Amino acid sequence: MNRQNDICKVVTLGDSGVGKTCLLQKIKYGTYNNENSMTIGIDCLHKTVDLGNKLITLELWDTAGQERFDAMNKLYIRNVMCILLVYDITNEESCFKLNKWCDLIDEQAPSDVIKILVGNKCDKRTRMITTEIGQSVADYLKMPFIEISSKEDVNVDELMDLMLVIKDYKMHSVFRKETLKSMNKAAGNGYANTVLIFNLFKFKFIFTRQLLLIVKYVLK
Protein backbone atom coordinates (compact mmCIF):
# COMPACT_ATOMS: atom_id res chain seq x y z
CA MET A 1 0.00 0.00 0.00
CA ASN A 2 1.35 3.38 -0.99
CA ARG A 3 1.83 5.74 1.91
CA GLN A 4 1.11 9.43 1.74
CA ASN A 5 4.20 11.51 0.96
CA ASP A 6 3.83 15.11 2.07
CA ILE A 7 6.14 17.90 0.99
CA CYS A 8 7.49 20.54 3.36
CA LYS A 9 9.33 23.40 1.65
CA VAL A 10 12.02 24.88 3.88
CA VAL A 11 14.19 27.87 2.95
CA THR A 12 17.28 29.10 4.79
CA LEU A 13 18.00 32.82 4.96
CA GLY A 14 20.93 34.62 6.51
CA ASP A 15 24.20 36.35 5.74
CA SER A 16 26.98 34.68 3.80
CA GLY A 17 29.19 32.49 5.99
CA VAL A 18 26.70 31.76 8.78
CA GLY A 19 26.68 28.05 7.89
CA LYS A 20 23.44 27.55 5.96
CA THR A 21 24.98 25.10 3.48
CA CYS A 22 26.71 23.06 6.21
CA LEU A 23 23.45 22.87 8.14
CA LEU A 24 21.41 21.57 5.22
CA GLN A 25 24.09 19.09 4.24
CA LYS A 26 24.18 17.86 7.83
CA ILE A 27 20.41 17.32 7.72
CA LYS A 28 20.57 15.61 4.34
CA TYR A 29 23.73 13.49 4.58
CA GLY A 30 24.55 13.47 8.29
CA THR A 31 28.06 14.73 7.56
CA TYR A 32 29.91 18.00 8.07
CA ASN A 33 32.06 19.54 5.34
CA ASN A 34 34.12 22.58 6.29
CA GLU A 35 35.31 22.96 2.69
CA ASN A 36 31.99 24.16 1.29
CA SER A 37 32.34 27.02 -1.16
CA MET A 38 30.11 30.07 -1.10
CA THR A 39 26.61 29.33 -2.41
CA ILE A 40 26.04 30.93 -5.81
CA GLY A 41 22.37 31.57 -6.50
CA ILE A 42 20.34 28.79 -4.91
CA ASP A 43 20.54 25.06 -4.32
CA CYS A 44 18.05 22.41 -3.22
CA LEU A 45 18.41 19.18 -1.26
CA HIS A 46 15.72 16.63 -0.39
CA LYS A 47 15.42 14.67 2.84
CA THR A 48 12.65 12.06 3.20
CA VAL A 49 11.63 11.16 6.73
CA ASP A 50 9.70 7.96 7.48
CA LEU A 51 7.11 8.55 10.20
CA GLY A 52 5.61 5.07 9.89
CA ASN A 53 2.15 5.92 8.66
CA LYS A 54 3.46 8.38 6.09
CA LEU A 55 6.52 9.95 4.56
CA ILE A 56 7.50 13.60 4.72
CA THR A 57 9.93 15.03 2.19
CA LEU A 58 11.75 18.13 3.31
CA GLU A 59 12.64 20.38 0.38
CA LEU A 60 15.69 22.18 1.74
CA TRP A 61 16.43 25.34 -0.23
CA ASP A 62 19.87 26.86 0.34
CA THR A 63 20.02 30.56 -0.54
CA ALA A 64 22.98 32.86 -1.08
CA GLY A 65 23.62 35.52 1.54
CA GLN A 66 25.08 38.20 -0.73
CA GLU A 67 22.92 41.21 -1.56
CA ARG A 68 23.27 40.67 -5.31
CA PHE A 69 21.16 37.53 -4.96
CA ASP A 70 18.30 39.20 -3.05
CA ALA A 71 16.08 39.35 -6.14
CA MET A 72 16.51 35.61 -6.66
CA ASN A 73 15.87 34.87 -2.99
CA LYS A 74 12.55 36.70 -3.21
CA LEU A 75 11.31 34.18 -5.77
CA TYR A 76 12.12 31.16 -3.63
CA ILE A 77 10.48 32.26 -0.38
CA ARG A 78 7.06 32.47 -2.00
CA ASN A 79 4.81 29.50 -1.12
CA VAL A 80 7.32 28.39 1.51
CA MET A 81 6.12 26.61 4.64
CA CYS A 82 9.08 27.17 6.95
CA ILE A 83 11.99 29.62 6.98
CA LEU A 84 15.18 29.01 8.95
CA LEU A 85 16.62 32.42 9.75
CA VAL A 86 20.27 31.66 10.49
CA TYR A 87 22.94 33.77 12.18
CA ASP A 88 26.45 33.00 13.42
CA ILE A 89 26.87 33.33 17.19
CA THR A 90 30.51 34.40 16.63
CA ASN A 91 29.53 37.18 14.21
CA GLU A 92 27.60 40.13 15.64
CA GLU A 93 26.93 41.61 12.20
CA SER A 94 25.07 38.49 11.07
CA CYS A 95 22.71 39.03 14.02
CA PHE A 96 22.36 42.76 13.43
CA LYS A 97 21.25 42.08 9.84
CA LEU A 98 18.35 39.86 10.84
CA ASN A 99 15.96 42.78 10.37
CA LYS A 100 16.93 42.92 6.70
CA TRP A 101 15.94 39.29 6.24
CA CYS A 102 12.75 39.80 8.24
CA ASP A 103 11.81 42.66 5.90
CA LEU A 104 12.34 40.33 2.92
CA ILE A 105 10.14 37.70 4.57
CA ASP A 106 7.39 40.23 5.31
CA GLU A 107 7.43 41.44 1.72
CA GLN A 108 7.56 38.11 -0.12
CA ALA A 109 6.72 35.11 2.08
CA PRO A 110 3.18 33.86 2.86
CA SER A 111 1.62 35.64 5.81
CA ASP A 112 1.29 32.36 7.73
CA VAL A 113 4.85 31.16 7.17
CA ILE A 114 6.55 29.72 10.25
CA LYS A 115 9.95 31.23 11.01
CA ILE A 116 12.61 29.68 13.25
CA LEU A 117 15.59 31.66 14.49
CA VAL A 118 18.73 29.49 14.38
CA GLY A 119 21.95 30.46 16.14
CA ASN A 120 24.66 28.43 14.42
CA LYS A 121 28.19 27.43 15.50
CA CYS A 122 27.40 27.08 19.19
CA ASP A 123 30.48 24.85 19.51
CA LYS A 124 32.75 27.88 19.06
CA ARG A 125 34.49 29.45 22.05
CA THR A 126 34.61 32.85 20.35
CA ARG A 127 30.93 33.49 21.02
CA MET A 128 29.77 37.09 20.52
CA ILE A 129 25.99 36.57 20.79
CA THR A 130 24.88 34.97 24.05
CA THR A 131 22.02 32.49 24.23
CA GLU A 132 20.06 35.03 26.26
CA ILE A 133 20.46 37.68 23.56
CA GLY A 134 19.45 35.17 20.90
CA GLN A 135 16.32 34.28 22.86
CA SER A 136 15.51 37.97 23.36
CA VAL A 137 15.84 38.58 19.62
CA ALA A 138 13.60 35.59 18.92
CA ASP A 139 11.00 36.86 21.38
CA TYR A 140 11.09 40.29 19.75
CA LEU A 141 10.73 38.77 16.28
CA LYS A 142 8.07 36.32 17.56
CA MET A 143 9.91 33.18 16.47
CA PRO A 144 10.86 29.86 18.06
CA PHE A 145 14.60 29.79 18.80
CA ILE A 146 17.27 27.10 18.81
CA GLU A 147 21.07 27.08 18.92
CA ILE A 148 22.88 24.41 16.91
CA SER A 149 26.27 23.24 15.77
CA SER A 150 26.44 21.51 12.40
CA LYS A 151 30.06 20.58 13.08
CA GLU A 152 29.48 18.95 16.47
CA ASP A 153 25.95 17.73 15.67
CA VAL A 154 24.32 19.75 18.46
CA ASN A 155 20.51 20.06 18.19
CA VAL A 156 20.44 19.33 14.43
CA ASP A 157 18.04 16.42 14.87
CA GLU A 158 15.94 18.53 17.23
CA LEU A 159 15.73 21.26 14.61
CA MET A 160 14.53 18.74 12.04
CA ASP A 161 11.93 17.45 14.50
CA LEU A 162 10.78 21.02 15.05
CA MET A 163 10.29 21.47 11.31
CA LEU A 164 8.28 18.24 11.15
CA VAL A 165 6.07 19.36 14.02
CA ILE A 166 5.48 22.65 12.21
CA LYS A 167 4.69 20.82 9.00
CA ASP A 168 1.96 18.78 10.68
CA TYR A 169 0.75 21.81 12.56
CA LYS A 170 0.10 23.62 9.30
CA MET A 171 -1.06 20.76 7.10
CA HIS A 172 -2.96 18.23 9.21
CA SER A 173 -6.66 18.86 9.75
CA VAL A 174 -6.55 18.22 13.52
CA PHE A 175 -4.34 21.27 13.90
CA ARG A 176 -6.50 23.77 12.08
CA LYS A 177 -6.79 27.08 13.82
CA GLU A 178 -10.39 26.75 14.96
CA THR A 179 -9.66 23.40 16.60
CA LEU A 180 -6.69 24.85 18.45
CA LYS A 181 -8.66 27.90 19.54
CA SER A 182 -11.44 25.71 20.91
CA MET A 183 -8.92 23.56 22.79
CA ASN A 184 -7.22 26.60 24.28
CA LYS A 185 -10.53 28.04 25.40
CA ALA A 186 -11.58 24.78 27.03
CA ALA A 187 -8.22 24.13 28.67
CA GLY A 188 -7.58 27.69 29.72
CA ASN A 189 -3.99 27.62 28.40
CA GLY A 190 -1.80 26.39 25.55
CA TYR A 191 -0.48 23.27 27.24
CA ALA A 192 -3.26 21.05 25.85
CA ASN A 193 -1.85 21.68 22.39
CA THR A 194 1.61 20.54 23.46
CA VAL A 195 0.20 17.34 25.01
CA LEU A 196 -1.78 16.63 21.85
CA ILE A 197 1.32 17.00 19.68
CA PHE A 198 3.27 14.59 21.85
CA ASN A 199 0.45 12.03 21.92
CA LEU A 200 -0.18 12.10 18.18
CA PHE A 201 3.34 12.19 16.80
CA LYS A 202 5.37 10.56 19.56
CA PHE A 203 8.39 12.77 18.96
CA LYS A 204 11.21 12.42 21.46
CA PHE A 205 11.25 16.16 21.61
CA ILE A 206 12.64 18.43 24.32
CA PHE A 207 11.53 21.85 23.11
CA THR A 208 8.35 22.42 25.11
CA ARG A 209 9.04 26.15 25.00
CA GLN A 210 9.38 26.10 21.23
CA LEU A 211 6.17 24.10 20.87
CA LEU A 212 4.30 26.64 22.96
CA LEU A 213 5.79 29.40 20.84
CA ILE A 214 4.50 27.66 17.71
CA VAL A 215 1.03 27.54 19.23
CA LYS A 216 1.30 31.22 20.10
CA TYR A 217 2.53 32.41 16.74
CA VAL A 218 0.39 30.14 14.55
CA LEU A 219 -2.68 31.49 16.29
CA LYS A 220 -1.61 35.15 16.29
Rounded Cα–Cα distance for residues 62 and 119 (Å): 16
Diameter over CA atoms, the chain = 53
pLDDT digits (tens, 9 = 90+) for 103-158: 989 988 888 888 999 999 999 999 999 999 999 999 999 888 999 999 999 999 98
Q: What are the structural domain ranges in the chain?
A: 4-167
Give residue 200's pLDDT.
43
Asked if pLDDT for residue 18 goes beyond 60, the answer is yes
In this prediction, residues 85-100 reach a mean pLDDT of 94
CB 116 within 8 A of CB 102: no
Give residue 84's pLDDT.
94
In this prediction, residues 40-66 reach a mean pLDDT of 78
Rounded Cα–Cα distance for residues 218 and 220 (Å): 6
pTM: 0.73
Give residue 168's pLDDT.
65
Residue 100, CB half-sphere, CA atoms under 13 Å: how many? 15
CATH 3.30.70.1060 fits 4-167, yes or no: no
Rounded Cα–Cα distance for residues 85 and 95 (Å): 10
In this prediction, residues 59-65 reach a mean pLDDT of 79
pLDDT digits (tens, 9 = 90+) for 170-202: 554 334 444 445 544 544 444 444 444 444 443
Asked if pLDDT for residue 50 goes beyond 80, the answer is yes
